[in-house]
Structure 1
Amino acid sequence: MFLPPGFLDELRTRVSLSAVVGRKVTWDMRKSNMAKGDWWAPCPFHQEKSASFHVDDRKGFYYCFGCHAKGDALTFVKETENLPFIEAVAVLAAEAGMPMPERDPRAAEKADRRSDLARVMEEAVKWFRLQLKTAAAAEARAYLTRRRLSDAAQDRWEIGWAPDSRHALKDMLAAKGIAPDLMVDSGLVARADDGALYDRFRGRIIFPIRDARGRAISLGGRSLDPNARAKYLNGPETELFDKGRNLFNIGPAREAAGKGKPLVVAEGYMDVIALVEAGFTAAVAPLGTAVTEDQLRLMWRVSDEPVIALDGDAAGLRAGLRVVDLALPLLEAGKGLRFALLPGGMDPDDLIKAEGAPAMQKVLDEAQPMVRLLWQRETEGRVFDSPERKAALDKTLRAALKRIADPSIRAHYGEEIKQLRWDLFGTNRRPATQPRAPFGGQSGGPGFRKGRFVPPPAPPLATTRASLLAAGHMPEDTLREAVILAALIRFPALVPRFETSLERLDLSSEDHTRLRNLLLTHAQDSECRARIETDSPQALDRLLAHPHVRIAPPMLPRADEEFAAACVEVDLAALEANRAHRAELIEAEEDMDGLADEGTTFRLSRATAARQSAARGAPKEQKGEAVIAPNGVELDREELDRARRLHDQIDFTRGGRSRS
């Protein structure tokens, strides 16, 4: 059977050598480095105990340092299963999901034609290179000099010049005996409606496009005319060139990535050239189109985690988001993407010329995982100030996660998004006692469970206990908030010390939120209290008029700044303990849907102990519906009763006896 050209290359691209070999060997995980595609095992071709058989997954070759066996995936299948070559191809093709080509007596003729087209392309590359040295190319040479491309760099990249003539290239090819149909089929010459032939590339700087084997398969041209219809022009798709299945500079980039260089994906030719010349030698670019699925798989063949370098403008971000949508269904364990957003509307070429290679390295080092770009797309510039808007976000994210086929990756994405949701909707950080679980997992807290959304803990609804406010009582958290705010208004110099904790406080009233924001705004102002009195006098009066606030330790005449700081620190810690305790109660209630375990009991007991410690002692005095702690602070009677009931239920589900 005659295999069409490119079939075996495609087969090797689709099949992982380590997966093929892994069916026959046991990997030495102490010696192997999966992240780099570097695998070691005892050789399957001769008896040995040491791991001398090496698989380079990126290059697609294996070698045994003992018996010197070597080859690729096809060779391995052929040798280990004692198959003829064509049957080994069939085995791997079935694994890769590629249909075997039918017997075609004209296939050999087609292969010869592809060879002829490749020869035409090489003749054109050489001729364009010569044209760059002529007087007619002075403007092109000046442009390349302005782009800081030395003569040596121009030679390395085989950059040329297409004269502004309709027939110069056609006449040269005809003089070499190349038939008109080959000129047209190569994409170098176009045919007009009247049948006349003309050069496709005119008045353009020429960049040869080579495949992974180093063959010239097409050209890219950059116009110097500002009025040109297209600044960049690629050759059309031909028997040699499929723009959606190739990448600019793929051959050298694959070699550099095999030596440990990160694969950087830029937007255009000049970006790739600038990156390579600056030392980022594993750089590639798509060929005039958005990244395709085939190109993405080709990138992952070269590197497990390519870095997509996005131009720092809206168009660059949109391009990155298209890649996210493309990649989500294709994600596999160990195969991901990172995104590096360049500053100030720059592209890699601009940044390297302006600030040098270290600046570009810094951008690459700060590249973000794909989940962060997905989150940014759904949240940036939007306001989530209503349950409906939050639910719309959850629906969009849930739909995105469903597109991930790998369940493990989907779970980890959900976990990361759940943390980001806590940061956005919660107290800006996850409570220390709240376990992280996949978005849509089975742990407590906000997320999606059994197809329904479980919202984050909401503040308790107002009840008859709200009348305690009129009687001079406040719920514990509200009172602590009031004392903290009053102390900081009295001693505004303390605000910078507690600024972070103050910013992430989820306050229980509009008055407290307004006063907190004014404190953060005017803390550095010598007239801080006067400004607060001017901006929100009623809220300040209500705060300072409360009897518990007036007698709070930091408000006493003898209290100084350091004493007030200690009081604020204690109250902030107590607030965190109280709110963590409530989160644990809600999670424990949800866990009662199944059988509670030792972990549930442990979390509840630890959270309760932390809260009691924060209250400086166990409750000892009851007054109506309120439970008063030794420090005079009201505790939530209903909450304490609920904790006792949960402990009883846990004892029951574990076979214990309920405390009735």
Structure 2
Amino acid sequence: MSLPPGFLDELRGRLSLGQVVGRKVMWDTRKSNQAKGDLWAPCPFHQEKTASFHVDDRKGYYYCFGCHAKGDAISFVRETENVSFMEAIEILAREAGLPMPERDPQAQEKADRRTQLAEVMEEAVKFYRLQLKTGAGAEARDYLARRGLSEAAQDRWGIGFAPPGWEALREHLTAKGIEAELILAAGLARPSDKGRAPYDTFRNRIMFPIRDLRGRCIAFGGRAMDPNDNAKYLNSPETELFDKGRSLYNHAPAREAAGKGHPLIVAEGYMDVIALSEAGFPAVVAPLGTAITEDQLRLMWRMAPEPVIALDGDTAGLRAADRLIGLALKELSGHNSLFFLEIPGGQDPDDFLRADSETGRKERRQAFQELLDGAMPLVRKLWNSEFGKRSTETPEQKADLDKRLRGLVAQIPDPDVRKYYGEALKQYRFEAFRPQNWAPEFKRKPQRAATTAEAKSSLLASGVSEAQLFLARDRIVAGICLANPLATREFRDGLERFDVVDANARTIIDAVLGFEADDEGEAFINAIRAAVGNATVERILFDPLVKIQPVVRENYPLDIVKHEFAYHIAIVTSRRAQLVEKAEAEEDIDHLANETLTFRLRQAGLLVDRAMKGGGEDRAEFETGPNGARMKKEERTAFDRLLSQIDYSKGSGKRRPH
């Protein structure tokens, strides 16, 4: 409907924004100056204690200095009441005492026709409700009781029963003076192709009224009582009132609840919606069929920017989720998205929430709330769906996965969203195909009380500079990655197997490996800063031991950079292996004091020596002892000097005289 020129200006002129907003807020009298139309209150759009929401009543605009919400009276009603533009106009017009413009005669005639059909539908609701309470509805009542629906809940949802007869509803409506043509137009009866009288659309079914945003019954959904019925669920045919692809079950109550901050949940069936709403999740809707249409998706996004999809976990529900992903990607923006809730065991929400006792129902509600809090974002659902469709063992299968994902992401119209989806999917791919770490896990094992004093003088504890250098090699490798991203990708296999202890270093290495930009230098580092955070990058680049590395400060050929990678990784890996052997030897020394321990420790030491020699000349002088162990000359000299002071001739252990 179009509004005549000047109508909105007259509407705004008749309204006081302060009065419109005042229905929803409590003014701060100390901060407000009502005489000048300068009004302040806590913001109704976000939780706060201070009065940061400002209304300029003379200009007719509001603005929140906290969440930056702004607008006029129409936008305020739209946001707080969760209604469309025209509905907000109608609300304000009634409040201002301003009649809405008359529609053209044809539009008025069409509206009258729809009103007539809605009245026929309401008569059908009353008939079905009455039939549920009769003897014919006993089996239906038992079924609803088994599904946990009390009589009060049945009344709230207007649930009824269509008796088995072929003409029960039609005869009832005809007796009330309703024309046969209106009964057919409302979809309550169907014409016979055998020349007989029209017959009822619904027979022997539990009936669920489907209502529009104005609360009018526009259609029915019927659940068959006969297990052999061809259609378990049957909806009304499309009519002048009912467009299946543009309607949602429980639309109006859910919109109101979503406007009050409840998360919007999209379930699959009528019983799921009722079970969730009765359990304390009032913002819940269902499509009228398994597949969600584009129009229904847009209706959901008008209610809430991030609906949570809780379709059944069976095959049909999974296919519906896949179709919905395809629809959503074509409509994504920075303001709208989806989350997906997966219920364990392939259950639907109704099955999951059902319990025999009140205690059990409370536990189920809490469990569902936890599932809701942990709902999966659309980008993760997209990855899981495509990753699970086919094996990814071979390079060809991995390439096919990449191709499918690129094709889907290309459908996203918003370039910024498309960019971030691409980056997220690259990260998921990196995590899925990254080889397992081959280096031994570095865990410092607890010392026994008897060896605590000895441990304090060990290499790890007493050599503070070496311990710092040892842990800093992780950061050195990360610094080389930042300075040489192209060489980093050439050395991908070695880095993916490198077991990194330092958390910041691990973040940087993973980010560089997952980043496919071709540029280097400051531009690349800035891109990594944006991806992982400036603080993480600076902890690496400003580490004193990283800054002095020539390969970080200057440009070197690819082979030298790869040699530096291999050198530092080899030192870290061998040293950690030696620490593991040492810790295990300390545990085994009481019951395995033989040459096995000596051999294991010697081999671990040789690994460290070889790693150290890989990076430069070892200037220490060594001698080989009778048992094959290498010893520094200065240590051997000190040991001989100690022996020379001991008198072995008399076995007394006394020192020889100087």
Q: TM-score, length-normalised on structure 1?
A: 0.60
Secondary structure of the structure 2 residue equivalent to 1:285 = strand
Stretch moving more, 625-634 or 209-218:
625-634
Secondary structure of the structure 1 residue equivalent to 2:248 = coil
CA distance in 2 between partners of 1:340 and 1:294 (Å)? 22
Counterpart contact for 2:306–2:337, Cα < 8 Å: yes
Deviation at 1:359, TM superposition (A): 1.6
The residue that corresponds to 1:431 in the other structure is none
The residue that corresponds to 2:396 in the other structure is 388
User: Are the structure 2 counterparts of residues 195 and 567 from structure 1 closer, same or farther at C-alpha, using a change threshold of 3 Å?
Assistant: farther
Deviation at 1:281, TM superposition (A): 0.9
Secondary structure of the structure 1 residue equivalent to 2:340 = strand
User: Are the structure 2 counterparts of residues 599 and 407 from structure 1 closer, same or farther at C-alpha, using a change threshold of 3 Å?
Assistant: closer
User: Are the structure 2 counterparts of residues 50 and 194 from structure 1 closer, same or farther at C-alpha, using a change threshold of 3 Å?
Assistant: closer
Counterpart contact for 2:162–2:206, Cα < 8 Å: yes
User: Are the structure 2 counterparts of residues 240 and 43 from structure 1 closer, same or farther at C-alpha, using a change threshold of 3 Å?
Assistant: farther
The residue that corresponds to 2:150 in the other structure is 150
Secondary structure of the structure 2 residue equivalent to 1:364 = helix
User: Are the structure 2 counterparts of residues 361 and 634 from structure 1 closer, same or farther at C-alpha, using a change threshold of 3 Å?
Assistant: same
Residue of structure 1 aligned with 2:519, choices 569, 588, 591: 591
CA distance in 1 between partners of 2:407 and 2:398 (Å)? 14
Secondary structure of the structure 2 residue equivalent to 1:310 = coil
CA distance in 2 between partners of 1:147 and 1:332 (Å)? 40
Counterpart contact for 1:167–1:199, Cα < 8 Å: yes
Counterpart contact for 1:300–1:306, Cα < 8 Å: yes
> Deviation per CA, 1:41-67, whole angstroms, max 9, x where unpaired?
6447547898796614445579xxxxx
Does structure 1 residue 606 correspond to structure 2 residue 541? yes
> Deviation per CA, 1:149-195, whole angstroms, max 9, x where unpaired?
11101111111111100011111011011111111110000111123
Does structure 1 residue 255 correspond to structure 2 residue 256? yes
CA distance in 2 between partners of 1:587 and 1:84 (Å)? 70
Matches within 5 A, 1:6-155: 31=43, 33=45, 42-43=55-56, 46=59, 55-58=76-79, 72=88, 106-155=106-155
Stretch moving more, 113-122 or 595-604:
595-604
Does structure 1 residue 399 correspond to structure 2 residue 413? no
CA distance in 2 between partners of 1:396 and 1:35 (Å)? 42
Counterpart contact for 1:351–1:359, Cα < 8 Å: no
Q: Percent identity?
A: 46
Secondary structure of the structure 2 residue equivalent to 1:311 = coil
Does structure 1 residue 170 correspond to structure 2 residue 170? yes
Deviation at 1:330, TM superposition (A): 1.1
> Deviation per CA, 1:239-293, whole angstroms, max 9, x where unpaired?
0001111111111111111222111110000001111111111111111241111
Secondary structure of the structure 1 residue equivalent to 2:518 = helix
CA distance in 2 between partners of 1:426 and 1:567 (Å)? 31
Does structure 1 residue 220 correspond to structure 2 residue 221? yes
Matches within 5 A, 1:600-639: 606=541, 632-633=611-612
Does structure 1 residue 425 correspond to structure 2 residue 429? no
Q: How big is the alpha-carbon RMSD for the aligned residues of Structure 1 and Structure 2?
A: 4.9
The residue that corresponds to 2:238 in the other structure is 237
User: Are the structure 2 counterparts of residues 562 and 198 from structure 1 closer, same or farther at C-alpha, using a change threshold of 3 Å?
Assistant: farther
Counterpart contact for 1:580–1:607, Cα < 8 Å: no
Letter aligned with residue 591 of structure 1: D
> Deviation per CA, 1:113-150, whole angstroms, max 9, x where unpaired?
21111111000100110111111111111111111111
Secondary structure of the structure 2 residue equivalent to 1:360 = helix
Secondary structure of the structure 2 residue equivalent to 1:330 = coil
Does structure 1 residue 313 correspond to structure 2 residue 314? yes
CA distance in 1 between partners of 2:283 and 2:120 (Å)? 28
User: Are the structure 2 counterparts of residues 164 and 427 from structure 1 closer, same or farther at C-alpha, using a change threshold of 3 Å?
Assistant: same
Does structure 1 residue 208 correspond to structure 2 residue 218? no
Secondary structure of the structure 2 residue equivalent to 1:341 = coil
Secondary structure of the structure 2 residue equivalent to 1:344 = helix
The residue that corresponds to 2:594 in the other structure is none
User: Are the structure 2 counterparts of residues 31 and 407 from structure 1 closer, same or farther at C-alpha, using a change threshold of 3 Å?
Assistant: farther
Letter aligned with residue 276 of structure 1: S
CA distance in 2 between partners of 1:359 and 1:181 (Å)? 50
Q: TM-score, length-normalised on structure 2?
A: 0.60
Deviation at 1:408, TM superposition (A): 2.1
> Deviation per CA, 1:207-264, whole angstroms, max 9, x where unpaired?
1111111000011111111100011111000000011111111111111112221111
CA distance in 1 between partners of 2:333 and 2:261 (Å)? 21
Does structure 1 residue 369 correspond to structure 2 residue 268? no
User: Are the structure 2 counterparts of residues 634 and 599 from structure 1 closer, same or farther at C-alpha, using a change threshold of 3 Å?
Assistant: farther
Deviation at 1:313, TM superposition (A): 3.0
Deviation at 1:561, TM superposition (A): 12
> Deviation per CA, 1:19-52, whole angstroms, max 9, x where unpaired?
xxxxxxxx9999474899xx96644754789879
CA distance in 1 between partners of 2:56 and 2:299 (Å)? 29
User: Are the structure 2 counterparts of residues 587 and 28 from structure 1 closer, same or farther at C-alpha, using a change threshold of 3 Å?
Assistant: farther
> Deviation per CA, 1:532-555, whole angstroms, max 9, x where unpaired?
xxxxxxxxxxxxxxxxxxxxxxxx
CA distance in 2 between partners of 1:291 and 1:561 (Å)? 62
The residue that corresponds to 1:284 in the other structure is 285
Letter aligned with residue 485 of structure 2: I
Counterpart contact for 1:2–1:108, Cα < 8 Å: no
The residue that corresponds to 1:272 in the other structure is 273
Deviation at 1:374, TM superposition (A): 0.3
CA distance in 2 between partners of 1:224 and 1:599 (Å)? 61
Letter aligned with residue 158 of structure 1: G
CA distance in 1 between partners of 2:260 and 2:57 (Å)? 26
Deviation at 1:413, TM superposition (A): 1.8
> Deviation per CA, 1:477-528, whole angstroms, max 9, x where unpaired?
xxxx99x55xx8xxxxx78989xxxxxxxxxxxxxxxxxxxxxxxxxxxxxx
Letter aligned with residue 88 of structure 2: D
The residue that corresponds to 2:480 in the other structure is 581
Counterpart contact for 1:58–1:303, Cα < 8 Å: no
CA distance in 1 between partners of 2:107 and 2:524 (Å)? 68
Counterpart contact for 1:574–1:614, Cα < 8 Å: no
User: Are the structure 2 counterparts of residues 562 and 237 from structure 1 closer, same or farther at C-alpha, using a change threshold of 3 Å?
Assistant: farther
Deviation at 1:319, TM superposition (A): 1.7
Does structure 1 residue 186 correspond to structure 2 residue 186? yes
CA distance in 2 between partners of 1:126 and 1:596 (Å)? 69
**How many equivalent residue pairs?**
463
CA distance in 2 between partners of 1:595 and 1:280 (Å)? 48
User: Are the structure 2 counterparts of residues 595 and 76 from structure 1 closer, same or farther at C-alpha, using a change threshold of 3 Å?
Assistant: same
User: Are the structure 2 counterparts of residues 105 and 366 from structure 1 closer, same or farther at C-alpha, using a change threshold of 3 Å?
Assistant: same
Matches within 5 A, 1:546-557: none
Secondary structure of the structure 1 residue equivalent to 2:344 = coil
CA distance in 2 between partners of 1:212 and 1:183 (Å)? 22
Deviation at 1:398, TM superposition (A): 1.6
User: Are the structure 2 counterparts of residues 41 and 317 from structure 1 closer, same or farther at C-alpha, using a change threshold of 3 Å?
Assistant: farther
Letter aligned with residue 327 of structure 1: A
CA distance in 2 between partners of 1:71 and 1:238 (Å)? 23
User: Are the structure 2 counterparts of residues 175 and 579 from structure 1 closer, same or farther at C-alpha, using a change threshold of 3 Å?
Assistant: same
Deviation at 1:581, TM superposition (A): 2.7
Matches within 5 A, 1:291-370: 291-354=292-355, 356-370=364-378
User: Are the structure 2 counterparts of residues 76 and 131 from structure 1 closer, same or farther at C-alpha, using a change threshold of 3 Å?
Assistant: closer
Secondary structure of the structure 1 residue equivalent to 2:229 = coil
Matches within 5 A, 1:406-485: 406-426=414-434, 485=440
CA distance in 2 between partners of 1:415 and 1:496 (Å)? 36
Deviation at 1:596, TM superposition (A): 7.5
Counterpart contact for 1:402–1:410, Cα < 8 Å: yes
Determine which structure has more spread, i.e. the larger CA radius of gyration: 2
CA distance in 2 between partners of 1:599 and 1:324 (Å)? 29
